[in-house]
Amino acid sequence: MAVSETSTPSALAGQNLLGRFFRKEVVLFIILVVGVLLLSTQTDKFLTVDNILNQGRLLTEVMLLALPMTYIIITGGIDLSVGSILGLTAITLGYTWQNLGLPLEVAIVVAIAIATLAGFVNGLFIVRLGVPPLIMTLATLALYRGLAEGISQARSVRGYPEWFFELGQRNLLGIPTQLWIAVISVIIAGIVLSRTTFGRSLYAIGNNELGARFSGIPVNRYKLLIYTFSGFMAGIAGWIFVSRVSTTRSDMGTGLELDVVAAVVLGGTSIFGGSGTIVGTVIGAVLIQLLKNGLALSGVKGDATIVVIGIVLIGSILINNFIQRRSGQTT
Residues contributing to the site for other proteins (CB under 8 A): 78, 125, 129-132, 134-136, 138-147, 149-150, 152-154, 250, 254, 258, 261-262, 265, 271-272, 300-311, 313-314, 317-318, 321
In the complex, the smallest distance separating the C-beta of residue 302 from other proteins, rounded to whole angstroms, is 7
Cβ-based burial of 118 (10 A; exposed 0-12, middle 13-18, buried ≥19) = buried
Nearer to other proteins (CB atom), residue 18 or residue 271 = 271
d(CA 95, CA 111): 10
Total residue count of the chain as it appears in this document: 331
Q: Give the E-state strand segments of 152-254 in sequence order.
A: 171-172, 175-176
| Closer Cβ to other proteins, 37 or 307, answer by number | 307
In the bound state with other proteins, the residue whose beta carbon lies nearer, of 37 and 135, is 135
Other beta carbons within 10 angstroms of residue 10's beta carbon come to 8
Question: Residue 228 Cβ, how far from other proteins at the closest point, in Å?
Answer: 18
CB 276 within 8 A of CB 100: no
Q: What letter does residue 176 receive in the DSSP assignment?
A: E
Minimum Å gap between C-beta 256 and other proteins is 13
Decide whether 140 or 185 has the Cβ nearer to other proteins. 140
Comparing CB distances to other proteins, the nearer of 14 and 310 is 310
Identify whether the C-beta of residue 243 lies closer than 8 Å to the C-beta of residue 89. no
- Shortest distance in whole angstroms from residue 150 CB to other proteins: 4
Rounded least distance, CB 162 to other proteins, Å: 31
State the minimum distance, in angstroms, from the CB of residue 60 to other proteins. 21
Query: Is the Cβ–Cβ distance between 122 and 79 less than 8 Å?
Result: yes
* CB atoms inside a 10 Å sphere around CB 18: 12
Cα separation, 158 vs 148, in Å, equals: 16
Comparison of 53 and 149: residue with beta carbon closer to other proteins: 149
